[in-house]
Every structure is written in C-alpha cells, then in structure tokens.
C-alpha cells in the first residue's frame, strides 16, 4: 500500500508587521496536506502576539489554528524548530523540501539572506533553499524603503528568491482585513503550485 507523501514547506516568521499574513498562509498550507516546518524568530513571535493575539509558542499549534479558524479542516501538520538551532534537519541541503517562505520578512532577515550570513535557522534555511535551487519566497514588509533595503531585495532576487511584497490588491474589493490576508496567502501559495482559491481572479 503506498503512503501519500506530504509536501514539506519551511515557513519562517520574522518580526516585520503583517503577522496575519503568516497566519493565513499557515492555515491554508494545513488545509492542503502540507507538512509545515515552522521557524519563528523572537521578534516574529512578539509581533504575532501583539498584532493578532495569537501565540506561536503553544504546545499544540494545529489545535490553536483550528480554534482560530473555526470550520477549517486540516490535513497538514506543523513541526517546529528553534531559530537558534542551526543543527536542525532543515539546516542541511540533504533534508529535501519543496521550498521555503518567509512571511512576513523583516529587513534584518532580508539583509542576512542577501549577504549569505546564515546566522539563524531562518537565514540558514533560506541560504540552503537558494543553493539547492529550491523555491524561496520572501514577503518583505517595510515602508518607506531605503537604498539598502532595495539593494538587498535585488541581491536576493538575483540569487533566485521570489519577492512577494506584502501589498494586497484592492481590485478584489476586500471587505475585511481577513480578505486582504487571504489575497496575500493566495499569491504566496500560487508560487508553490497550490491553487487555494482564496480570491476571485481579476476579470474585466
């Protein structure tokens, strides 16, 4: 009997504003049978709690997502790592994954990736995704952007990262913040070939 192999996607959450984008992205991955390998920076956890009231530190995160998103049914799972644990499996290219998304991505973590620092597990996993030719999606959030930010975005894009700025569209006529977050989650998941149908495609 063949067992279905779940897709493995690494999700990094850093301390930029827009934590709700991470919540909607992880929720949707869980709805699509994805094994989520989750790494949260200290400020990622801090901003998440302060902006959404959601704690990424609890013991059963899938249950916490089920409580947050009542009615959603989950077929995926979450494996968590400390951002300080550079010996974790996801730190090595020999651990095969379908890629990584960092949502939201702070300018600090972007800088670390653009310069190849690999000093935290999030930076190292991103570095591994690039060197192995795997999908790396960065969802940067800052405004205004200075020239260092812009240069780092270009360096990351030149190295193969997909830059998906936290810039939801308004032609969908969003009725809530949740609609805006769904739009971003939908655009992120499309890059992993997951059609989550979170918003209607544009039609004239």
Alpha helices in 32-174 (DSSP H): 42-52, 61-68, 107-114, 121-131, 147-158
- 144: preceding bond cis by omega (within 30 degrees): yes
Q: How far is the CB of 45 from ligand FMN (least distance, A)?
A: 9
Q: How far is the CB of 161 from ligand FMN (least distance, A)?
A: 15
Q: Which is nearer to ligand FMN, 17 or 92 (CB)?
A: 17
Q: What does the alpha-carbon distance between residue 85 and residue 62 come to, in Å, rounded to a whole number?
A: 22
Tally of residues, the chain: 204
141 binds ligand FMN (CB under 6 A): yes
Stretch that binds ligand FMN, among 39-47, 70-78, 124-132, 181-189 (CB under 6 A): 39-47
Place of tokens 């990262």: 161
Cβ distance 78 to 120 under 8 Å?
no
Spell out the residues 6+ positions from residue 114 whose beta carbon is closer than 8 angstroms to its own. Answer: 151, 152, 153, 155, 156, 159
Stretch that binds ligand FMN, among 2-10, 43-51, 68-76, 93-101 (CB under 6 A): 43-51
The residue within the footprint of ligand FMN, chosen from 7, 9, 10, 15 (CB under 6 A), is: 15
What is the side-by-side order of every strand in the sheet holding 77-82?
77-82, 34-40, 7-13, 100-105, 136-140, 162-163
The residue within the footprint of ligand FMN, chosen from 19, 44, 81, 128 (CB under 6 A), is: 44
Q: How far is the CB of 32 from ligand FMN (least distance, A)?
A: 26
Residue, CB closest to ligand FMN: 15
Q: How far is the CB of 15 from ligand FMN (least distance, A)?
A: 3
From 190, 38, 19, select the one nearest 125 (Cα to Cα): 38
Q: How far is the CB of 145 from ligand FMN (least distance, A)?
A: 10
Q: Which is nearer to ligand FMN, 72 or 148 (CB)?
A: 148
The residue within the footprint of ligand FMN, chosen from 20, 36, 47, 56 (CB under 6 A), is: 47
Cβ distance 124 to 9 under 8 Å?
no
Residues 90-119 that bind ligand FMN (CB under 6 A): 106-109
**Site for ligand FMN, rule CB under 6 A:** 14-17, 41, 43-44, 47, 50, 106-109, 141-142
């Amino acid at each position: 009997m063949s067992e279905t192999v779940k897709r493995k996607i690494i999700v990094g959450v850093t301390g930029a504003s827009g934590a709700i984008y991470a919540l909607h992205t992880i929720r949707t991955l869980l709805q699509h049978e994805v094994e989520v390998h989750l790494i949260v920076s200290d400020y990622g956890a801090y901003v998440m709690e302060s902006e959404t009231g959601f704690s990424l530190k609890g013991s059963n995160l899938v249950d916490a997502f089920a409580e947050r998103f009542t009615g959603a049914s989950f077929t995926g799972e979450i494996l968590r790592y400390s951002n300080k644990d550079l010996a974790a499996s996801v730190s090595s290219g020999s651990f095969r994954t379908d890629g990584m998304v960092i949502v939201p991505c702070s300018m600090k973590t972007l800088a670390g990736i653009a310069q190849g620092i690999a000093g935290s597990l999030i930076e190292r996993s991103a570095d591994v995704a690039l060197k192995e030719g795997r999908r790396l999606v960065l969802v940067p959030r800052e405004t205004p952007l200075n020239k260092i930010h812009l240069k780092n975005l270009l360096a990351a894009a030149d190295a193969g990262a997909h830059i998906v700025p936290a810039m939801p569209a308004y032609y969908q006529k969003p009725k809530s913040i949740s609609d805006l977050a769904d739009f971003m989650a939908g655009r992120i998941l499309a890059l992993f070939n997951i059609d989550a149908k979170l918003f209607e495609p544009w039609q004239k």
